[in-house]
Structure 1
């Protein structure tokens, strides 16, 4: 038996920054001490004290089949008997690459890396090399990893100016990063009229899911792609979250927009560390060893991630996982919102939902498409609900700005169990 979560956290703070290895895990956004987990199976997690939780964080998205899906686990066990790492050419990344290329028309070639951050960093390097331009346009409310050039926010001056969103990032590293608000075609037109000839890439999450679930209008996305292409700017869709989560062809397929470059992660590794950048052959052929754009990685294309990822994707396709999840998510979220509205005396709760992604928030007068439209008091209201649910064994991501996910392991029985537990937990909030 492990020591308690509290004891482990106190120890961890002595040897790791804030006691964690990624900030959101610290519970800083919701208050209290983090739960330390020792195992996961299906839709459930078990903490170090042996308490079970129904998991709606799912490692922030990769586990579309749930924890240790039986079919994927067989592949992982087989792989452990074959090799752990090669640092050499092998057939497993080839099989996954061929499968992805066969399913997605705008992916002609793909390069595997170890994280979404690395994927975006590499794709932008390709875009700059291909265009001979230096500037990048991103959007406030989208997150593309902790790359210096993209860890920026909108400044207070002219449209497109940016400022650092982290200490330790020099002004010279972000001077070529332009930032605009989402859902505003006019600002994009105005910026391109001024800077179009200098912008190498327009990068955006077509389904922004890192600062709440900010579902964009198709008209907005189509228009900004049109503007970018008019000025010779490459379009990079960051589908690290949405790729293979909303469907086999991601948001790009759903929207009918073929990006020049696209980044993937999470699901394509089956729960193991992975990232990928992909797109037109003429762009990917710029990457070493074929071209002048250098990028390398000792552990890129890990046999575990390649084989687990392919097994996951094949099962999603074979068993129609996407339609099943979409229907279950709609029903579950509707039930949760009804309970929240009834049990929380302070909040008129609502939700945003797309496929198997969901986000609970206070009701807004119109769809929340930009950061500034998130209702006041959202963070505090979510923290209260988070801890009430946690006490009854329901685990959401520990931040009001992170989205939730369903997995194929969340059966109708487990979803019903969740609603029962939520109703009981949230009774405590009612005055």
Structure 2
């Protein structure tokens, strides 16, 4: 089937490439000429392991192409996927500016009946509104199917070909059948429902996982206060199959493009319908506090960090991505700059994005060796493999003061090393 995917960001690009890989003819569309030119050179505008190989192979096979929105004839496509951003607005709701613009463009340039598939995360009621707007005063008939994505940054290529479920929401069974057929080769259970249920499934899933993370972090704070060990506690909890061990790791909180935005949007939707969402609001509050937890440890150790070299190991909100949206690193850096610390950072992929925010206010070290040399504290932000592989002897031999504040619990052995001062999340202070 010939398909166009509008938007070449994280969701759109992975969606387009995967649909091409299973045999469809896909045109990825964007308004950004730089992105389109990059993609035509097989360069991805996002860092995602494996994506560039799939771009090249499907482009060369003739199943995948990239075009500016002004150059696309949508009448050549039977199905159009909407995968543009719905960023968080200042009031915490989802900003639908890009969605509304795409609807206007598609409606104006379509002369044949179409199925519109919404991959973008949108508030409850949006897909019904999209269908109404498309069909108002139009001689062309549009059907709409809500098809939310559940990809994890850093493992999106794996996830897209091994989905746990495919959610399809619509008021038209024929349209659902068409989209189900498109996705048949992904070989996953298909949930067929209405617009509203599909929209809520997306928000409810992300908010639940975010709440699970914040719950583990709340318990970690209790462990610190009482002498418990969060690693023993969550291990014991996770063995209960009703709870499970996924998303139960205590640390410095969640970030990225989904959890912060979707939890906030869900509470706004609940407020609109006068539904109590205090559980999710509490999870958001705990996460905000947790993201600067390492700075609170540092304050206890150093009453004054002015002029001291403080090193951040990792910047991205999680490994295998360059995404720094709502990353703890941003808040940590801001707090350290307020204290006039000499901030040094290292990350395999995200330093360029951080530099766009902080410029020359901080130092960007190309190697772990540079980062640790003469440092007076090392703050572990992201559990990249290159960081996990640092030998403890490196901290002792290079740092001015071998002090590790571990936000991800990857150097637990340091707790047993008398030559290293060590503090991790969820254990009573050892320093």
Task: Report 1 or 2 for greater relative contact order, CA contacts < 8 Å, sequence distance ≥ 6.
Answer: 1
Task: Compute the TM-score of the two structures, normalised by the length of structure 1.
Answer: 0.35
TM-score, scaled to structure 2: 0.35
Q: Which of structures 1 and 2 has the bigger CA Rg?
A: 2
